[in-house]
Chain A
């Protein structure tokens, strides 16, 4: 039962007031609807699930071909580390991720601002985004290969395109939601246009922009793997693909766990960024 949700019935049998009228405590009806942070629940849940999984594998409930035991996955991971291949895969993946995400985000910021600030920009960009955002960028990967070649460029371009559109939407939505009163205040004090954008519009839109980053970072990781599955020597995606082809499920799951860890790291970094840049909101 969620904390504080249960009404506590008054005690009907409570003593009567001096003049004989019944006295009961007013039943409590408030509380709830305010999830509080609970430290340690997340890691504990993770550990519990992994333990359950390990136990299932050891007891033979889960066949080794269906899903390898966590201990086997760990073994595959250790072998990956010892062979020195991990760093090669990680470096290749992180480089693509960083390049693609940064470029996509910068362009997205630029176009999102244009859509948020100028009538013409909005009229042009918004329908364009609506038309292209829903296209799975993986479907365009063959085209990117034709345009940019089989090397790094097409992979980076896929991530760039994938992160560009959600960033545009987050930025112009954030700009739209900036308090008009603050902008009018800036104008009334004779602030130049650029100062209003830099000191009022951008910080005001920052909460929305940062939550946009969460989405675009997740999309970037998804696209990274997809892009690396087509003609990459190194990269977490390539590693997973190879493991899949060899039916080495322990390696496959180890690769997936690396992706998951990447996602967690990004989320943690963004959390730090939010806490630093949005201190004023707490």
Chain B
């Protein structure tokens, strides 16, 4: 299943945040979206998953989601969005409870995704007892439990410290190599983008337009931290972003 934005423009009241976005996320690829703060990256993601309706243009699913997908468009949030009153397993189960699957099936799925995210021993632990990285792993497990056709990741590593971020980035890479999921990954971190993205969409400052789409040919499994080619790509992206970021930084929040 592909996900496609057609001439999407979005406004909050009089404030135009996105203008004329045309973008297709093809099945099996990871598209990273970067841009200066306030450029509408997160809005773009909310539009993609149907949490918001575009002012103009259309958001389309092209093709059928794979059979067995319970929630084709599934988010991973920056602040994890875990229910503090539910255990790790309970949080994962939440996404399955209103689906047509039996109690036993549900338990099986929960155990399986927790194992896949290396969380089995933390199944009965409350979120507050977990570190930030572990919490985001729970959120990723929850997303995997509903067998998404496309993962929508909203700065999933931004709330973590840099060491944890590095570990979780490796986990995400490993996960993609195993599952080959489709994903739209919004980030402001360029090194995450060049590590994880098949294509990197660079947005301009508000109103966000697509400035450039950078394709990185290197297969994900070959990408290592600190590789010269990636650093070159990262430098080029920064060149593209620099002016926009500087200008965006000087804008008033609600002007």
Q: Which of A13-21, A44-52, A71-79, A191-199 forms part of the interface with chain B?
A: A191-199
Q: Is the CB of B83 within 8 A of A184?
A: no
Q: Which of B81, B126, B128 contacts A184 (CB 8 A)?
A: B81
Q: Please, how many angstroms separate the alpha-carbon atoms of A190 and B145 in the complex?
A: 13
Task: Enumerate chain A residues within 8 angstroms of B70, measured Cβ to Cβ.
Answer: 190
Q: Is the CB of B81 within 8 A of A191?
A: no
B71: interface (CB < 8 Å): yes
> Contact flags (1/0) for A165-193 with B, using CB distance below 8 Å?
00000000000000101101111111110
Taking the nearest CB of chain B, how far is it from the CB of A35, in angstroms? 22
Q: Which of B90-98, B162-170, B181-189, B214-222 forms part of the interface with chain A?
A: B90-98
Q: Is the CB of A195 within 8 A of B98?
A: yes
Task: Enumerate chain A residues within 8 angstroms of B71, measured Cβ to Cβ.
Answer: 188-190
Q: Is the CB of A181 within 8 A of B83?
A: no
**Given A182-B81, A281-B84, A192:B98 Cβ within 8 A:** yes
Taking the nearest CB of chain B, how far is it from the CB of A199, in angstroms? 6
Q: Is the CB of B51 within 8 A of A189?
A: no
Q: Is the CB of B98 within 8 A of A203?
A: no
A33: interface (CB < 8 Å): no
B136: interface (CB < 8 Å): no
A232: interface (CB < 8 Å): no
A280: interface (CB < 8 Å): yes
Question: In the complex, what residue of chain B is closest to A179 when comparing beta carbons?
Answer: B81
Q: Say what secondary structure dominates the interface of chain B.
A: loop
B74: interface (CB < 8 Å): yes
B2: interface (CB < 8 Å): no
Q: Which of A182, A192, A281, A282 contacts B83 (CB 8 A)?
A: A182
B79: interface (CB < 8 Å): yes
B49: interface (CB < 8 Å): yes
Q: Is the CB of B98 within 8 A of A190?
A: yes
B146: interface (CB < 8 Å): yes
Q: Which of B73, B94, B128, B146 contacts A199 (CB 8 A)?
A: B94
A200: interface (CB < 8 Å): yes
B77: interface (CB < 8 Å): yes
Task: Enumerate chain B residues within 8 angstroms of A281, measured Cβ to Cβ.
Answer: 84
Taking the nearest CB of chain B, how far is it from the CB of A178, in angstroms? 11
Task: Enumerate chain B residues within 8 angstroms of A192, measured Cβ to Cβ.
Answer: 98
Task: Enumerate chain A residues within 8 angstroms of B146, measured Cβ to Cβ.
Answer: 189
Q: Is the CB of A184 within 8 A of B98?
A: no
Task: Enumerate chain B residues within 8 angstroms of A184, measured Cβ to Cβ.
Answer: 51, 81
Task: Enumerate chain B residues within 8 angstroms of A182, measured Cβ to Cβ.
Answer: 81, 83
Q: Please, how many angstroms separate the alpha-carbon atoms of A282 and B128 in the complex?
A: 9
Q: Please, how many angstroms separate the alpha-carbon atoms of A225 and B91 in the complex?
A: 46
Q: Is the CB of A199 within 8 A of B83?
A: yes
Q: Is the CB of A188 within 8 A of B74?
A: yes
B85: interface (CB < 8 Å): yes
Q: Is the CB of B77 within 8 A of A185?
A: yes
**Given A185-B75, A188-B74, A203:B85 Cβ within 8 A:** yes
Q: Please, how many angstroms separate the alpha-carbon atoms of A203 and B82 in the complex?
A: 13
Task: Enumerate chain A residues within 8 angstroms of B98, measured Cβ to Cβ.
Answer: 190-192, 195
**Given A195-B97, A199-B94, A280-B128, A189:B74 Cβ within 8 A:** yes
Q: Which of B51, B79, B126 contacts A187 (CB 8 A)?
A: B51
Choose among B51, B75, B81, B97 the residue with the greatest number of A CB atoms under 10 Å from its CB.
Answer: B81
Enumerate chain A interface residues (CB-CB to B < 8 A): 179, 181-182, 184-192, 195, 199-200, 203, 279-282
Q: Can you offer 26 A-B residue contacts whose CB atoms are under 8 A?
A: A181-B77, A181-B79, A181-B81, A182-B81, A184-B51, A185-B75, A185-B77, A188-B51, A188-B73, A188-B75, A189-B71, A189-B74, A189-B94, A189-B95, A189-B142, A191-B95, A191-B98, A192-B98, A195-B97, A195-B98, A199-B83, A200-B83, A279-B126, A280-B85, A280-B126, A280-B128
Enumerate chain B interface residues (CB-CB to A < 8 A): 49, 51, 70-71, 73-75, 77, 79, 81, 83-86, 94-95, 97-98, 126, 128, 142, 146
